[in-house]
Structure 1
Amino acid sequence: MTMAAVRYENPEGSNPAQGLYSNVGYVEDGRIRMVAGQLAVGAEGEVVGVGDFDAQFHQVFDNLEAVIRGMGGTMASVLKFSTFVTDRAYIEPFMRLRAARFPSFYADEVYPPNTLLIVQGLVKHEFMIEVEAVVAI
């Protein structure tokens, strides 16, 4: 049996990784891509929106959208999201912000699956939310 070749990339528009990882991994045919969890990181690698969940939410989705665009896709290419928040108190603002932003991504208002997890912390204590995605390109 021949092993499928695994590839990694950092598409144009990706912000700096916060560790030793690539923003995207995929099998050689490239049709299904795993996008690393996106954080509230600005273009220079700085944490955006310290203490401001709304600002971090928007930066995370801006970053996710930039990575997907860099691969030639759109947010409508997402098959599944996994969302990590660091406090139960962030669930309500997450739902509110998602309800406001997602209709611009999904005109028919049918949304991809999302797993929402409350975790003790993310890679830096300033981060409040992280979102990863499985994308079809």
Structure 2
Amino acid sequence: MDRSYVKGDWQQGRAFSPAVVTTGAQKIIWLAGHGAPRADDGTPLKGDFEAQCRQCFLNLERTLERAGGTLRDIVTMTVFVTDVRYTTPMTEIRTEIFGDDFPASAAITVTGFADPLMLIEIQGIAVVE
């Protein structure tokens, strides 16, 4: 499978690509929304956005591994946050994870989630060779 990233000027600074193009034989993994109100040991992450964001990506990574993919296979994601001010810390964490080749993305501010401890939820699509 070939993958190319359409890069934008301002989009690069916000850690996403306007589009990702894939061609060739591939498997598509449709990721349900993943949140992270608690750490692996069950400790609540109430009010700690950075911890929830990192745990959220860890949870996505585990799901992808079970499905035969990795975080690097994500081509698009929708990030839901409860406060618009969380988009910058999320962008910084996403930059750590993806480097310079970012998935296409949207960030949406919501009033809340089914679990009131949650501050972030991410869903996406991954394409694997």
Query: Above 0.5 in TM-score?
Result: yes
> Using the alignment, how far apart are the partners of 1:48 and 1:69 within structure 2?
24
Name the residue aligned to 2:116: 125
Q: How many residues align?
A: 102
Provide the rounded CA distance (Å) in 2 between the counterparts of 1:57 and 1:69: 18
* Structure number with higher helix proportion: 2
Q: 1:75 to 1:125 in 2, by over 3 A?
A: same
TM-score by length of 2: 0.70
Aligned with residue 75 of structure 1, among 68, 71, 75 = 71
| Alpha-carbon displacement from aligned partner over 1:77-116 (angstroms, at most 9, x marks no partner) | 112111000011212211222223322xxxxx12110111
Structure 1: how far apart are the matches of 2:43 and 2:120? 12
1:1-20 paired onto structure 2 within 5 Å: none
Alignment partners' CA distance in 2, 1:31 and 1:112? 16
Query: How many angstroms apart in 1 are the aligned matches of 2:28 and 2:67?
Result: 11
String of CA shifts for 1:28-58, please: whole Å, max 9, x gaps: xx922211111104457x4642110010000
SS of residue in 2 equivalent to 1:92: helix
TM-score, normalised via structure 1 length: 0.67
Which sections of structure 2, spanning at least 5 residues, go unmatched?
1-25
Q: Which residue of 1 aligns with 2:105?
A: 114
Query: Which ranges of structure 1 fall in alignment gaps of 5 or more residues?
Result: 1-29, 104-108
Q: Does 1:37 align with 2:28?
A: no
Identity %: 29
In structure 1, C-alpha distance between the alignment counterparts of 2:91 and 2:119, rounded to whole Å: 14
CA deviation after TM superposition for structure 1 residue 136, in Å? 1.6
Q: Return the match for 1:86 from 82, 85, 100.
A: 82
Aligned position for 2:48: 52
Richer in strand (by share): 2
